[in-house]
A and B are shown apart, each in its own frame.
Chain A
């Protein structure tokens, strides 16, 4: 059992302690971060901290230390706060210094007043980020990261968390955790719960016990439905329309969070994936203050500076959008819980992990190839390309050209057989974050792809294409029918095209556009050649047509052992992070080869083809765990390309004959 001090449950008292010791000088802030850094370095300490991703807010103790894995969706304006302030007791005239850092509300005792004019007051600056859970995060990521916490079982320290853990344990499958119902709750209900916490808890326990036996969770949705409708009932009388939590993808769940960053916020960017450790603040005062401000706005023009929408967005009820005051924050290279969080080579532990995995790389690759070949109905060439696609990542940009993107267009997909649907489900099992975009006239005309700035509410309204790095975007073109695209539709298609060619999305700021670079793996499934641009088109040649696609695909998935599946996941995430180089010798050989090829057939071999071949060679080497290009790999890459091209040629002929 890990021994944990107060720092988990009441980090603010620790801060208070450090603050009191070092009060005259200002380096107490540094000491606080150092203290927590030390604490979190301890064995597995990061896993003891309850995560907002897995545990509903109302199970967490206010002002305790929490962690949150999230994507920066929007950045609000920096705010000035009272870093240090003084309170006065009007009766005794006693003055006490307090710190305002890591707090939303300047606290003072019942008999005290805050002296706003004290010379001791220090004004500091912090930045607020609006963070949402990583869009499109796969269920297995949530599940595994939750289970690691379960295994460590630190919840016993926090009775509420403990209750939740035991409840979910009974339910077995944490992926269907609470979140669906929670944003439908009004905060009234939450308050109600605060009043009768025990009752509420029991109720939840009871619920989960009922559904506990049901592993597949078939009962679950029904229960949620009733709960949700009940929730609506409660809301309707006096609540404004439910708050739009601004998730990039429709149907996303989970808590959105206002993350207050105190240090080096310049280094974070929109769409960065962060893991933050900080103090959870769900003080109901926050929402009360804002509502009262609204009431008094008629009195004081100072307060009506912001519109009502802006108020709603920038200070939503804390029960819906909790605040986290960040003590430590780090950018994540990946969100795969099976890998060590940061992969720098100094740490021996990660080194060990990597080298261990590398040693058994080739069997894993072979197995994965086999698995994908089956998934692609027996087409091994397509499976090979799919692996290359899945480990591709934009590793650099040369002026405007993104290097390392590898958009694959899988043409020749059987129509109307739900093949693409099932293929996506398999990919979802392999990558940490993904989204399935079913293209149709309807969806192109009516969805919001590009994030745009809403100036009335002063926020960036998210769109489908606001995705974190290395998210897999699977575009399904097989559902597309003939029809008319309207202006929005044309814009959306253009945005997709830009995304694929330049790996950037132009966010719409109404008066101007801003370019945001991104790194999204796009896979297009289509019948013929896709209408979107792509780096490489692979024509699927199914060897087997299973009579029942659903059965076939699900049996495929159940046939894979969970441990093997995890290996696939590690494989795909790890190889993406490897470095790569080409030796001078091989460069020469490639040169020779290219010149030779041009000589033989100048029409069909262009600079573009060389680009492609180099890309294929790069990912082919990496997929075998090699970080330099060898002659054999180069030849193999050429061979693959030749096969692929031959197939396309063949396809053209077939089509030509048909015409």
Chain B
């Protein structure tokens, strides 16, 4: 074993803030001396103790032999008693690793882990003061092999060995994570990770605690309870394996293990005093991050008399200035040399609990995070992150001038690992982003539910129970909530197929359209609610903003982008202005948003379903007019809706009676019954979330046939009367609806019954919205061209009648406009409106028969 004095290890802030030149041969200050200037005598003895050279790793006996020695000199170095056994306080464990002889390695520098040790809990460190340590150590010693770090049940050697075994052997072919691109799941996962480190050179090893737990429950528990002691041991283990395998590898510093996904705590609200000093994972949203704070890790002092230098390490946030120079014994001669001291980066971040975790009616909690070194500036305000770290509570310092102390602790989390939860969204990787985990019972219960024959009806009923009837509309919305299967045809040149179902509700005011929208908005996790009146194109899509602080251009996303993978509810769709509506064209078919603004050109994903509600233009639905005429929306937009429902007030006695009963019950129903329905809402939400993320039905053979037939039938119906009643878009709608219905059943295959229901629903919606009011026949061209075939015919007839009328007037070169209209009205047996008349005039003008100038009509 090489002498520690020759260890080339040194500490270095990443950004070289300390700007001290690397001094690998700085023999005057070996690591141990640097640490405790006061214990000069024991340094040599101390060094080998926690070191476990690779040779010993496989033989715990030998390691234990090493470990049995420390108590002997414990007595000689009383102030250090506790620190010895902790690999952490002893220095980063890796320092020992590289101390071992290794072929030609220059040695990889160690990096301190301020995330683990920056604030030590005083109680542990101050052990020596109450004189108990000796006893405990003694008893431990008698136990021989059972030697553990004081205050814990962690045995460094066995812990390390276990972790190495974990790294070498852990295989879980089933668990697929998004970061696992390029990993062979049947090989030890973390060995591949180490290989990656060797290639990429990023010396961090992320370890999923869940894996560790399934591998060794006890080790996991130790990690959670004593992260400060266990993680350095892990570091040590990982480095040993790594440098064994890749002895020639050159890394910036030694590998640091970063555990994540500790299951201990998920919610900020559940943090309590028991979590102090434990490894926790919480999720939240970053709301503020501080400037970078250089934190002194090691102070460099020089004697002004004899130029003797010494280094003092930070201890519980304080630097103890040496009062006496050890070399010349002058008092108060040591001066701090700033630019040779070492600093590490630190940043304070405020994390606020995510809105989903907040109980209703309370304000969100926040917690302070400290990020160190590499983790500084890794997150920006607004990011959703999962943070793994150690929870700390620090008593507010005793004020030297006041004897009393504030009895409150300050709490924060030292960050070990960040995991952004929404980063994937921008990259368009498929799959649900919310990693909603369902308990097994819940999944069982949902599956049980899905087997029920009437599940579709049941769910439809559970949707907005306070809104009466409108069953088909609810079914439509239900299918919209589930959505179709996403298909990718990029390689054949068509890009993504839309899987989202768009629905338009139109109808009389006061038929609870808004209420339905509100309900849906409250039900889905990523819903947005806007009103056509109040939103501009910019608010819907995205806008570019200049950040007042950085003068940087920032892209702010609007409602449509925010509801990616969710539902965007747009109320008062008809009141939306033209330019705003035009934005929707792209969103509703391509599911993307293109932006070219202020130098930022990009395409954002907006895979959102649109649920819109529109009022008729005359405030009351006119049954004598078509949908287009009633709501005055461009047919290009209308044809992008899969289902268009009319919400009309039915005039029917039985309906009225049921409605009345329903409403009356609403006004006095007991609390319990309401509770039941609330339960349903939670179940419904889970049911949908589960189906959306785990069920992905594909078309079966039979179903395909049925769809083809349905489509052919639809076209046939129309062609019989000389018009087309179906377009490929309708076929796509049918497919989507069928898929959604299969999802409702948790079925992986679309079957005929799904197609049947899709057909039925589609027909229902068509019947309501695309019926020609004059003939009572379903006519899809109302939606696609904005005019029914009969209306077109009528227009032609009128034009002909007008031509005849003008011709009958003889050779008069010009006619009075009003006169002509009156004549036409007198002649015609149906009412001729001014609009119709003008249209007829225009038609004739197009035929070069006449021209209209102001109020006179001139014949050509």
Contacts and interface: CB of A to CB of B under 8 A. Distances in A.
Interface of A: 74-75, 77-82, 85, 100, 103-108, 110, 112-114, 116-117, 119, 123-125, 266, 269-272, 285-286, 288-289, 292-293, 300-306, 396, 398-401, 403, 453, 455-456, 458, 460, 490, 494, 501-502, 509-512, 514-517, 580-582, 587, 590-591, 594-595, 598-599, 602, 606-608, 610-611, 614-615, 618
8 contacts: A74-B363, A117-B130, A300-B317, A305-B368, A399-B466, A594-B656, A598-B653, A606-B649
Most-contacted residue by chain A among B368, B406, B653 (CB, 10 A): B406
Contact of B398 (A114, A453, A587): A114
Nearest to A110: B403
B660 interface: yes
Contacts of A509: 352, 355, 364
Contact of A125 (B273, B397, B402): B273
Given A460-B363, A512-B355, 4 more contacts: A104-B408, A285-B402, A398-B465, A516-B361
Nearest to A396: B674
Contacts of B412: 305
A599 B652 CA distance: 9
B444 to A, nearest CB: 27
A445 to B, nearest CB: 16
Closest A-B pairs by Cβ, 5 of them: A269-B361, A398-B466, A106-B407, A594-B660, A100-B407
A490 B534 contact: yes
B660 A590 contact: yes
A595 B465 contact: no
A77 B365 contact: yes
A523 B381 CA distance: 41
Contact of A301 (B126, B295, B514): B295
A395 to B, nearest CB: 9
B346 A606 contact: no
Given A107-B404, A123-B273, A456-B288, A302 B119 contact: yes
Interface stretch (B192-200, B515-523, B845-853): B515-523
B157 interface: no
A534 to B, nearest CB: 14
B65 interface: no
Interface residues of B, number: 86
B657 to A, nearest CB: 5
B465 A399 contact: yes
A590 B287 contact: no
Most-contacted residue by chain A among B122, B317, B368, B664 (CB, 10 A): B664
Contacts of A85: 407
Contact of B358 (A104, A304, A494, A514): A514
B393 A302 contact: no
Contact of A81 (B367, B408, B651, B669): B408
Given A116-B395, A399-B464, A81 B649 contact: no
B820 interface: no
A611 B663 contact: yes
B72 interface: no
Most-contacted residue by chain A among B123, B362, B468, B677 (CB, 10 A): B362
A582 B664 contact: yes
B121 to A, nearest CB: 9
Contacts of B359: 266
Contacts of A453: 363
B624 interface: no
B666 interface: yes
A595 B123 CA distance: 77
A114 B399 CA distance: 12
Contacts of B518: 400, 502
Interface string B794-836: 0000000000000000000000000000000000000000000
Contacts of B666: 398, 403
A501 B513 CA distance: 13
A126 B860 CA distance: 92
Nearest to B671: A396
Nearest to A513: B355
A599 B653 contact: yes
Nearest to A595: B656
A293 B396 CA distance: 10
A114 B411 contact: no
A635 B362 CA distance: 43
A447 to B, nearest CB: 19
B122 A117 contact: yes
B510 A595 contact: no
Interface string B499-528: 000000000001110110011001000000
B445 interface: no
B651 A602 contact: yes
Contact of A104 (B350, B366, B407, B656): B407
Interface in B447-470: 464-466, 468
Given A398-B666, A509-B364, A80 B411 contact: yes
B105 interface: no
B479 to A, nearest CB: 19
A458 B366 contact: yes
Nearest to A288: B402
Contact of A289 (B366, B382, B402): B402
Given A399-B465, A606-B649, A301 B399 contact: no
A226 B384 CA distance: 53
B409 A123 contact: yes
A591 B664 contact: yes
A611 B664 CA distance: 8
A501 B366 CA distance: 32
B668 A455 contact: no
A80 B518 CA distance: 40
B554 interface: no
A116 B121 CA distance: 10
B404 A285 contact: yes
Given A302-B394, A511-B382, A581-B668, A458 B273 contact: no
Interface string B267-284: 000011100100000000
A75 B405 contact: no
B285 interface: yes
A618 B122 contact: no
Nearest to B364: A509
B850 to A, nearest CB: 38
A498 to B, nearest CB: 10
A272 B466 CA distance: 27
Contacts of A300: 317, 397
A75 to B, nearest CB: 5
Contacts of A286: 406
Contacts of A266: 359, 362
A610 B663 contact: yes
Most-contacted residue by chain B among A106, A108, A125 (CB, 10 A): A106
A302 B667 contact: no
B664 A607 contact: no
A30 to B, nearest CB: 18
A289 B660 contact: no
A315 to B, nearest CB: 9
Nearest to B659: A607
Nearest to B468: A607
A610 B405 contact: no
A582 B668 CA distance: 6
Contacts of B668: 580-582
B681 interface: yes
B348 interface: yes
B405 A114 contact: yes
B659 A610 contact: yes
A654 B271 CA distance: 66
B649 A403 contact: no
B136 interface: no
A511 B649 CA distance: 40
A222 to B, nearest CB: 41
A602 B648 CA distance: 13
Contacts of A581: 668
B174 interface: no
B510 A606 contact: yes
B492 interface: no
Contacts of A125: 272-273
